Amino acid sequence: MHARITLFALGVVSLAVVSLYPTLQFPSSAQVSTFIGPRVWPLTLLIILFTLGIVLIAITWRDRKQVLITEPQATPDTPVETEIPSARFSLNRTRHWWFIATAIAYTLLMQSVGFLIASLIFTFIGTLMLGARSWMTIAITLVIAAVLMQGVFVSLLGIPMP
């Protein structure tokens, strides 16, 4: 289990590092007429992504070392209980990969339908993947997301929606 989490965390850190160069190609606030440039938001997300990936690696390694220290050593006389992993497909077991695929699809969809529509679709799918089943909860989440996106980017920051 620790190997899978470590591999996922290394993938997250790698994604952040690889995405840094294209993000730095966006214009800064000095190059555009807005208070905060287009580079700030993706750069902030990359820094957060990188930091959380490193934290996940550190926590996983720490937990692995604690398990190795506290786990009793098996002797030939002591039977070792092993858990047989379930081979069934489960959304819970693969949810992180679905979120990554959804984020990639969101990025591609944004170019064709625009930021607001793509963001609302992403919010809808993300809300479903997080377990919301009530249509009222989903509708409220979408309305709040639309108001926040419109309010923050257009009204507060003065950045027109693409």
- 78-133 pLDDT, tens digit each: 555 555 555 565 667 888 888 899 999 998 998 899 888 999 999 999 999 888 89
The alpha carbon of 78 is separated from its chain's Cα centroid by a whole number of angstroms, namely 43
Q: Is the pLDDT of residue 68 over 90?
A: no
- Stated length of the chain: 162
Angstrom distances, CA of residue 138 to CA of 30, 60, 127, 135, 154: 38, 33, 7, 5, 24
- Considering the entire predicted model, what is its pTM? 0.50
The dihedral through the CA atoms of 13, 19, 25, 31 has a sign that is: negative
Domain ranges of the chain: 1-82, 90-162
